[in-house]
Structure 1
Amino acid sequence: MRIITAQDIEEVMSFRDLLETLRRAFRVGVVAPSPHTQRIARPTGLDDGSLTISSAWHNFAAQDTVERGFIGTRLESCLPTSLEHDAPAVAGVYLLQSGKTGTPLALLDGKALVNWRTAATSALASSYLSREDSSRLLMVGAGNLAPYLIDAHASVRPIKEVLVWNRSPAAAQQLVEHMQGQPFKVSATADLGGAVRGADIVCCATSANTPIIQGEWLQEGTHLDLVGSMHADQRECDDTVISQARLFLDSYDNTPTTTGDLKEPLADGVLSLQDIASDLAELCQGDRAGRRFYEQITLFKSTGTALADLAVAGHVYLRV
């Protein structure tokens, strides 16, 4: 069995290749049971940790996948006390097995896999939902995922200018310095509203508990990509955004019930399930239209899928 490190993953990846692997995966589909989460109790009963196990495998009833199919399982822990030891709050690994024999093939670094999977999924959605001439990207959030998201969006649209906003201006400036040398201009901004008004694509990767993107800021033709605030008590956009935008998901299976950006508007009657235009599988299969006209505001909400995890893991395994 191979051990595939984060460095190994970085060395073989490019978004252009990965997007086509993901596009094929969403067209074909996989078997993906609901994730299973166990609570890891703490002595005080507060700030308990969790262990989540999510799996997926190719449909082995289809003859063309019997010989090359995979089984994949992601194990991910979230322990609040990890911060006390200067460790990531969320950590995990990905086990890839042969679909024919069940033999373990590789153990992949979970964080690196999720970084590439999340950013590539956003870019895949953008290829259907953002305007083809989108050249101005606003990155809201300056965490570990931000540079991947910037590069991913730039791989599908002619990005010429990137603005970075973060609650900590120092963190925004640090990301700007990290991204120097790219074929587009990168700079920081303190004016979030003004930056949203001037952006073709707004990408958010934050852990905001209250909405930071206001619908009154959105201009005609904007594409909004929400990949942060994945829990039911977290939100990145307000109800005005939800009521203005044509809404798309990475998957119908879990997104509406797991993220506050949709769960709260659904509960309040601002949004109905019938208002959701499509998920990525339907977009990639051509069953539903993406952007319908130039001035339309589109919104993609992502919480991650086991399908994308498996596709990215297999993509890496075949290249390392």
Structure 2
Amino acid sequence: MLVLDEEQTRAALAWPALIDAIAAMFADGCVMPVRHHHDMEVPGESDATLLLMPAWLPGRYMGVKMVSVFPGNAARALPAIFGTYLLSSGQTGEMLAVIDGGELTARRTAAASALAARYLAREDAEELLVCGTGRLSLNLIQAHATGRPLKRIGIWGRDREKAAGIAREAQALGLAAEPVADLQAAARSADIISCATLSGAPLIQGEWLKPGAHLDLIGGFKPDMREADDTAIRRARVFVDTRAGAMKEAGDITQPLKNGVLAADDIRAELRELVNGAHPGRTDDADITLFKSVGAALEDLAGAILAYEYVRGRQA
């Protein structure tokens, strides 16, 4: 049985290969039950969340990810998200690998956003704004820079020192990143805006979005979380990773559905339909597009299989 730590998991999940693996899994499909979602009380702090996400390819592989989200960890200088992925044989049930779930989650989440941007962002998009300074931030920068010549990358966060730190890490990778202090000005200028926060109130105002902008919402995974306002929903063509997940769990979708700003039929397509060509994605350079992701177990399974087969191949 393989045991892959954070560094080994990162090395096994190169961006181009991971994006393609997730695309292939969306195209081909797998068995993906509804994930378990449990709120957990943390005395004196915001509630934590426990997620259990199973998926399998019959006769080939099966896996489950256990993830915890503790918002209070920010005050402890700890990541908000911890997790472990267990990959087993779909033929015998034999345990094949234990994979660092935090790194797998961060990379597959960023890869899915970059995959959606292939279909929804303008081909000539060259300015990226990342909102949030957590673990996902640098991953999002790297994923969106894969196959896209970004000329300007801004990082905004409530903690300016953290934003500056993310910018320095991106610069060390040869990427043109800088911290930004004025969120509104940066959002008005950006071609792609990627939000990865745990915000309970909208950060991005729809009136800020320029024609042709692509808004990527990642952080909110509960009905009481929002990263964009109703105006953004009204102005945009809305896409999701999966309808089942987004329409049940994501406040950026559930709240507009509840207040009538968004109807179920207004969701143009989910990621599977974009990958399979059932929906063309962006059809006009002036359109504003919005992609809401809550994460899908098939993304984790695709990444886990890729990591396992990569390491086994190197050992052979």
Say yes or no: TM over 0.5: yes
Aligned residue among 265, 272, 296 for 1:274: 265
1:81/1:146 CA distance change after superposition, 3 Å: closer
CA contact (8 A) 1:137 1:200 kept: yes
- Distance, in Å, in 2 between the alignment partners of 1:182 and 1:47 is 35
Letter of the structure 1 residue corresponding to residue 25 of structure 2: A
Query: Superposition pairs for residues 1-320 of structure 1, below 5 Å?
Result: 1-38=1-38, 40=40, 49-58=48-57, 60=58, 66=59, 69-78=60-69, 87-320=78-311
1:285/1:134 CA distance change after superposition, 3 Å: same
Find the residue that maps to 1:21 and give its secondary structure: helix
Report how far residue 211 of structure 1 moved.
Answer: 0.8
Find the residue that maps to 2:64 and give its secondary structure: strand
Find the residue that maps to 2:243 and give its secondary structure: coil
Letter of the structure 1 residue corresponding to residue 242 of structure 2: S
- Distance, in Å, in 2 between the alignment partners of 1:143 and 1:45 is 22
- Distance, in Å, in 1 between the alignment partners of 2:40 and 2:198 is 22
- Distance, in Å, in 2 between the alignment partners of 1:29 and 1:305 is 11
Letter of the structure 1 residue corresponding to residue 245 of structure 2: N
- Distance, in Å, in 2 between the alignment partners of 1:134 and 1:74 is 34
CA contact (8 A) 2:141 2:170 kept: no
- Distance, in Å, in 1 between the alignment partners of 2:159 and 2:271 is 33
Find the residue that maps to 2:272 and give its secondary structure: helix
CA contact (8 A) 1:160 1:183 kept: no
- Distance, in Å, in 2 between the alignment partners of 1:217 and 1:45 is 36
Letter of the structure 2 residue corresponding to residue 71 of structure 1: M
After TM superposition, the structure 1 stretch with the greater mean CA deviation from structure 2, 161-170 or 125-134, is: 161-170
- Distance, in Å, in 2 between the alignment partners of 1:73 and 1:243 is 36
- Distance, in Å, in 2 between the alignment partners of 1:71 and 1:299 is 32
1:264/1:48 CA distance change after superposition, 3 Å: closer
- Distance, in Å, in 2 between the alignment partners of 1:45 and 1:124 is 39
Letter of the structure 1 residue corresponding to residue 207 of structure 2: E
Question: In the TM superposition, what whole-angstrom CA distance separates every residue of 1:225-275 from its partner, at most 9, and x where no partner exists?
Answer: 111122211111010100010111011111122111111111110000000
CA RMSD of aligned residues (A): 1.9
In the alignment, what sits opposite 1:63? none
Find the residue that maps to 1:178 and give its secondary structure: helix
1:196/1:176 CA distance change after superposition, 3 Å: same
Report how far residue 146 of structure 1 moved.
Answer: 0.3
CA contact (8 A) 1:164 1:189 kept: yes
1:215/1:50 CA distance change after superposition, 3 Å: closer
After TM superposition, the structure 1 stretch with the greater mean CA deviation from structure 2, 252-261 or 272-281, is: 252-261
CA contact (8 A) 1:126 1:156 kept: no
Identity, % of aligned positions: 40
CA contact (8 A) 1:215 1:237 kept: yes
Unaligned runs of 5+ in 2: 312-316
TM-score by length of structure 1 reads: 0.92
